[in-house]
Amino acid sequence: MKTRTLGDLQVSAVGLGCMSMTSAYGPPANKAEMIGLVRLAHERGVTLFDTAEAYGPFANEELLGEALSPIRDQVVIATKFGFDIDLETGARTGGTNSRPEHIKRVADAGLKRLKTDRIDLFYQHRVDPNVPIEDVAGAIKDLIAQGKVNHWGLSEAGVQTIRRAHVVQPVTAVQNEYSLFYRDVEAELLPICDELGIGFVPFSPLGAGFLTGKIDENTKFDPTDFRNNVPRFSPEARKANMALVDVVKGVAEHKGATPAQVALAWLLAQKPWIVPIPGTTKRHRLEENLGAVDVTLTAQDLQELANALAKIEVLGERLPEAALKMTGL
């Protein structure tokens, strides 16, 4: 596995997003199987594992803590704070909470669930409009001084928030959705990361599965799958957006790769400090995704993709309206 650097944090070129193991894409997967999958990922060279208190809540961190405890010093654990979740019951209001005292309590609770003495990368999951980002950065600075956190990042944050946060405590990574399916971050977010020396971690790098070519207008999702409520995944949008998948499939056939590998290789080709975190609950998909590091897209490949994509307008918002309002973009 090749490595890359987020700020000054070295990680595998492709990480593993763990959310789908316990939430969002349907019922939780078998715990023993997911522990095995996490450990297989490490055997294949993955060192960056991404979770959050909100995934479950709590179940994902507990799963990852159990899976990684035997190899703790060989991996980088990224987790997140920022939602208003009761730390005793897991009850959530649906709102944000980045008050400094709450952040510190979340960190302590996360350390216990993750069976570790430090969080390698601690993201603010969503910007809290009620708490100045300088106060958030100050709380993280305290946690770093205490040795409980090593690095921090921001998720779904805007340019000015990132800039202000970075002044108080240097930001290591910014995490946002980014893929051939959603490219808005190219206008402002990637340039500021480049300017400030911040790494970028794309979540949903396969467009929540759409770029694999395994989803079409007739695909039925589990009733608990979040994609049922995403405008971009309505049957009409899926039908229209297949034009994008067809382009990716064409490149994949030419390269002797899969559409998923081309989608990930495209991200890796954008900047040397981009580290995608595709998620999966299947071993063969894990192997497929990690194979993307060996797929090289030439300048001609990238230009052909760019030319084709310029003619395609993706239909539908990437999130439901309420969720979009919670982003800082």
pLDDT tens for 157-186 read: 999 999 999 999 999 999 999 999 999 999
To the question of pTM greater than 0.75 for the whole model, the response is yes
Q: CA 39, CA 34: separation in Å to the nearest integer?
A: 9
How far CA 190 is from CA of 27, 105, 143, in Å, comes to 34, 32, 27
Q: Which DSSP letter does residue 131 get? A: S
Fold classification of 3-206+270-293 (topology level): TIM Barrel (3.20.20)
| Dihedral pair phi/psi, residue 5, rounded to 5° | -120, 125
Catalytic residue among 25, 55, 123, 178: 55
Catalytic residue flag (residue 25): no
How confident is the model over 87-114, as a mean pLDDT?
97
Q: CA 119, CA 66: separation in Å to the nearest integer?
A: 15
Every domain of the chain and the residues it spans: 3-206+270-293
Give the chain's mean pLDDT.
97
Q: Which residue has the tokens 């995944």?
A: 233
| Structure tokens that stand for 222 in this block | 């589990």
Q: Tell me, what's the pLDDT at 329?
A: 78
User: Strand 16-17 and strand 83-85: pairing?
Assistant: unpaired
CA angle at 46 for the pair 103 and 74, rounded to the nearest 5°: 70
Contacts of 82 (CB under 8 A, 6+ apart): 96, 97, 98, 103, 123, 124, 125, 126, 127, 128, 155
SS3 55: coil
| Structure tokens that stand for 128 in this block | 């809290």
Instruction: Using a pLDDT cut of 70, give the percent of the chain over it.
Output: 100
Q: Which residue has the tokens 């035997």?
A: 70
pLDDT tens for 266-307 read: 999 999 999 999 999 999 999 999 999 999 999 999 999 999
| The residue type at 320 | P
Confidence category of residue 205, pLDDT binned at 50, 70, 90? very high
How many other C-beta atoms can be found within 10 angstroms of the C-beta atom of residue 249? 16
> No. of H helices and E strands in the chain?
11, 11
pLDDT tens for 132-156 read: 999 999 999 999 999 999 999 999 9
pLDDT higher than threshold 90 for residue 328? no
| Nearest of 196, 190, 202, 117 to residue 155 by alpha carbon | 202
| Structure tokens that stand for 251 in this block | 């490149």
pLDDT tens for 33-54 read: 999 999 999 999 999 999 999 9
Helix or strand (DSSP H, E) at 123 = strand 119-124
